[in-house]
Amino acid sequence: MHTTDPRNELFDLVDDQDRVIGTVKRREANRNPKLIHRAVAILVYNPKRQLFLQKRSRTKDTYPGYWTISASGHVPSGKTYRQAAAMELTEELGIKKVPPLKLLGKKLIRYPNETEFETFFKAVYAGQVSLNKEEIEEGRWFTLNRRFFQTTLNTLKISPELKVIVENFLTNAAGS
| C-alpha–C-alpha distance, residues 32 and 39, integer Å | 15
Residues found in the chain: 176
Q: What is the pLDDT of residues 93-138, one digit of tens each?
A: 999 999 999 999 999 999 888 999 999 999 999 999 999 998 899 9
Check pLDDT > 90 for residue 140. yes
The domains found in the chain, sorted by start residue, are: 10-168 (3.90.79.10)
Q: What is the pLDDT of residues 8-62, one digit of tens each?
A: 789 999 999 999 999 999 989 989 999 999 999 999 999 999 999 999 999 887 8
